[in-house]
Structures are given as C-alpha cells and as structure tokens.
Structure 1
Amino acid sequence: MAGADITITVDPALHIFVAAPNRRPDAAVGTDATSSLGHVVEALGVPLVEVGELLVDGRPARAGHVPVSGEHIEVRRLAFPQRVGGPLRFLLDIHLGTLARRLRVLGIDAAYETPDIGDAALAARSAREKRVMLSRDRGLLHRRELFAGAYVYSHEPAVQLDEIIERFQPELAPWTRCTACNGVLRPVTKEEMRDRLENGTVENYDTFAECESCGRAYWRGAHSASLDAIVEQATRNR
C-alpha cells in the first residue's frame, strides 16, 4: 500500500493483532484505492472474525467498502454474545485438545482434529459442517471459506474455556458428551454394564451411560475432582 492517505483507530481489545505503530489513535495507513476495507484491516493483522462494527467517518460500513483518501476508519471489537446461524457447534485445531475435552464435559459439541490436517481442510470442514473454528492460528482465521471463527486469546485451558463461554454463551448440558470422541451419551442400565466392567464398579455405582459413537462406558464417580470443578465453575458463572 502506498501513501498514508487514511487514518485508522483500532479498538484496544484488538491491539494484540496490530503492530505498535498502528495501535495509535488515528494511525496513518496507506491504501491503493482498490483494496477493500476488509483487506486493509486484515493487512494490519486483525482477523475479520474478531471485528464487530466498522465505521467510516463515523458511519457504519461493510468490509467490501473501498476506502478513499481522507477517510477515517474505526475498527471495533466484536460484541458479545456472538451469535451464529443455526446450532452452535465448534471445531478446534490440533493445539486445543484440552479445551475440546473441557467443552465436551459441559455437553458442548466440539469436534477436534488430530493429527494436523492443515488449514485448508480445517476451513473446509468448518464450512461443510457449519462449525465455528476455534484457533490461536491467525492465518487460519483469515481464511474466507470458514463458516465462522474465533481467536482463542489465552494459552491456559481454564481461561480459554471461560473465554468461549463468555463469548458464545452456549447452552450447557454437563456429562452428556463423550470426552474422547464428542459422541452423544445414552443412559444404560446396570445390567447392560455388568459384563463390561469390573464387579466392584458395577456394584458401587447405579448410573451409567454409553457413547453412541464409540461405545465408551461412563458412570458417575468415574470423573476426577478436576472435571467436577470445571462443571461447577461453568455453571456457577451462568
């Protein structure tokens, strides 16, 4: 881009994506008079999935607007809660396995790709299955074919979970999904479990479930205190 002919103010919440010189209010940025506003914002480093309202000289504008010399652009962070069309379902990349398991503990549909299948395949699955792509990979979140996406800001799984719950405010249904494969759990009787589990387990517990997809068995009491704490924290904050 040539010529510093527009000014941009980026929401401080988005400064993590932007080089220091462009974090100043009214930072001068060059355009070529053909690139869209969306392209200009992404060239600054901000994924459009993190952008809410775009203002041009104080008026709302679309990402397809082509800035002209003298305009002032304001880039605002996405407002929460974020809504997506249709059921809320997630897709997580290979680096977010712990977050995927924690979402599943809460009954949230969270597909997880391992091994790494590459950005193109992840974006295609997001579009095909209408899943919100969760990632810390900024390049992946720039891909146009994504159904929807969200940057995961924290490195810490507990904080990551808080981020996603605050941002999307999903319905919680703890202990209804398989933490291993994301399948739905169905109740099963003690008699159905008797031949599959050790006698002590069957005799000491009364409530059992089985994953409809992979057949893994679950029973209350099999969950660690840390998983119980995840559920307690998430439900208390709702």
Structure 2
Amino acid sequence: MREVIFDTETTGLDPKTGDRMVEIGCIEMIDRVETGRTFHAYFNPDRDMPVEAERVHGLSAAFLATKPRFAELADELLEFLGDAPLVAHNAGFDFGFLNNELELAGRAAISMERMVDTVAIARRKHPGAKLSLDALCTRYGIDRSHRVKHGALLDAELLAQVYVELTGGRQIGLGLAPGDAVPTLVATSVTNVPWHRPSADRPRREPRPHVASPEELERHRAFIAGITDAIWAS
C-alpha cells in the first residue's frame, strides 16, 4: 500500500487569520518502507514572517521572497500525493493549511478521509504519555541529533520512522520485492504443514538407523573402562 508522510511549516497557527504555509516535505512509503521518492518545496507567502514562527523553523521573509508561490507548484505536489493516504503528526493542523493553499490556488480540497493522524495513533497506543514528535523519537530510539530547528522534510523523515514503530515495528514492511504485500500472520496447525510428504522430485527415503551396533557398544565399553579416576566410580 502506498502512503505519503508529510509535514508543513507555516507563518503561524491559523490559516483563517491569514497565516500561510511556507514549506512542505513529503516522503513516499510503500508497505511501510521508504521508497526514496520525496517532494520538498518552499513557498513565498506574500506576507511577513512573525518572529515567533521564524524562531521555530528559521525561515525568514527575505529567504522566502525568492521562492515560488504555492499555486506554481500545486499541480506537481498533487501529482506526487496522488490518491494515497496522507500521514501527518497532528494532521488536522497540516491538512488545514494544505487545503487553505489549495483553495487559494483554485484547486479542490483534499478529503479529510485520507487523513492519518499519528498523534491519535500514539494516544491510543501510549495513553497518558507525551505525544510530541521529539518524545516519540526518544521512546523509539530514533536519532534526531541533527534536528536543530523544525524543517518540513526532516520532520517528515523522522515521522516516517515513528509511524513504522507505531504501526507494528520495522518487520511489518519486510518483503522480497517492492510490490510484496504486507504479510498477514495466520495461526497454522503443524499437522497441516506437509514437510514430511514425498514428492515426485524428492522420492521417499528409508529412515536411517540410529541404534548403536554391537561393535560400537563394545568400543564404548572399552573406552569407559580406560578412564581413570572416573567420578561415577567413587
């Protein structure tokens, strides 16, 4: 199954009050395994950057002024997203900004039915625990030492690892080929496993004898008799 893990950076907390998305980072996964395909872009928000927001992600208005506007890359982004489920941490926030930008660009909103919220998954799995991305990275031993500030692609990469752990661990995605389906574990009685049955290309062999011959027994007795100071003779 194809999924896209994504994260956004913004000018603030609420698109309804004029805040804009300024960065998006997306990671493609198939059967919980990263494929190496990514989408990453910065956007010119056509507005100032509040100091509080810049402290979080380090993106200044001057840096973003040279970047394309969202509408210029909307089709490329939508092509990458396709019809896959979209995974984000506190996903309602990211969906709100993404759909706001799509609306401003004259594109249809993405259905909330495609939303997968890792905060909700973590809350069910670890009730009462801290649910931030940093806290979950610590819980699962995921290295985030290179994360000095928030960054959409970096955070999406960390979230992809967290998502795998939240949904069953790394072995869930192991397969022989990229197209292999995620296996379903089924309890099977050993009496149903035909390991003992011969086939046309593997003829039945008579069982090998495993009882010692009289000659072998005599050699064994002679060997035991030659042991001095045996503990069983004391």
Pick the structure with greater CA Rg. 2
Larger strand percent: 1
Higher relative contact order (CA 8 A, sep 6+): 2
TM-score (norm 2): 0.24
Larger helix percent: 2
TM-score (norm 1): 0.24
